Amino acid sequence: MGQATPTERYLERQKFPSPGECIYCGARDVELTNEHIIPFSLGANVEIVDASCKACAAITSEDEKELGRKVLFDYRLHLGIQTRRPKKRPKTLPARVVIGSGPEQTFDLPIADHPYFTAMPIWGLPGLLSGSEPRSTFEQESAHLYYYIPPNIKQTLNLRDGQLAEIKPPDIRIDSHKFARAIAKIAYCQAVAVFGLRGYRRLIMPDLILGRYPFVPYFVGCEMKVPPPPGSAKGVHFVDLRIVTIGRMKLIIGSVRLFAHSGTAEHGMPIYRVVVGAPAGERK
């Protein structure tokens, strides 16, 4: 498998021009709204102007909720990331704790004192890259678990010297297809911003993002191995595009790393891979 130099990395605080139609369904004679490349709920500040019709925006926003309001909700609160509903933002969060040999208890703690966990799903590489047949379910489903325990947790829980406490992660069921479609949308929007809507072959990406194409694992995935260390702190998120040669095929692969500067010194966030399309003129 050969690789070319990245075409472009994710840019901060930029607006890309309107394609003149909805980038998902192609509608023209309708009201179009700006499309964030990274969801607003994750601190987005890069947009494609007038790029999504309201009908498609309603569909994609449901998948983005899997990221912003579910998987990364606690993380967003701890970082104080923007929200469209600041008055409804909670000031406390529940923590499940077992102290000593006692029963499980739930403590409602202020954000600054709250220990939190973030589980990021991983599924193996996209089938198109690994040589697997198209399938509607992820053959492998796991997650990397990230956590933060405040240094004052002993005082917060009123623990005595030598007293042990187990802090349990929240019971969150991740919808892998919603999460993967939201990741695909990020890579797809970056491709549209870089190449233009007609500057490359989009394959089935619009239908996948809108939930009309069932074989999501064929185009979206993530290596199962431990992620590399965090990247540069110059930007919050990282998205790049590479033209990759597999046999006689050339494909455009988007790499998406949310909160790319986060994690430990050894292990950062997962890097998701999306087959966003093919160079113009290329055929499968």
Residue-level pLDDT at 6: 46
The answer to whether the pTM exceeds 0.85 is yes
Largest CA distance in the chain: 69
pLDDT at residue 7, as a whole number: 46
Q: What pLDDT, on a 0 to 100 scale, did the predictor assign at position 86?
A: 87
Question: What is the pLDDT at residue 171?
Answer: 84
Contact 220, 184 (CB under 8 A): yes
Q: Residue length, the chain?
A: 284
What are the mean pLDDT values of the chain's consecutive 10-residue runs (284 residues total)?
45 86 97 95 91 97 94 93 88 96 96 95 95 94 94 95 93 93 97 95 97 98 93 80 91 95 89 96 58
- What pLDDT shows up at residue 282? 56
Q: What is the DSSP letter of 234?
A: T
Tokens representing residue 203 in the block: 């394959």
Give the pairing of strands 249-257 and 238-246.
antiparallel
pLDDT at 9 (0 to 100): 60
Please report the pLDDT score of residue 94 as a whole number.
95
What pLDDT does 224 receive?
94
pLDDT of residue 248: 85
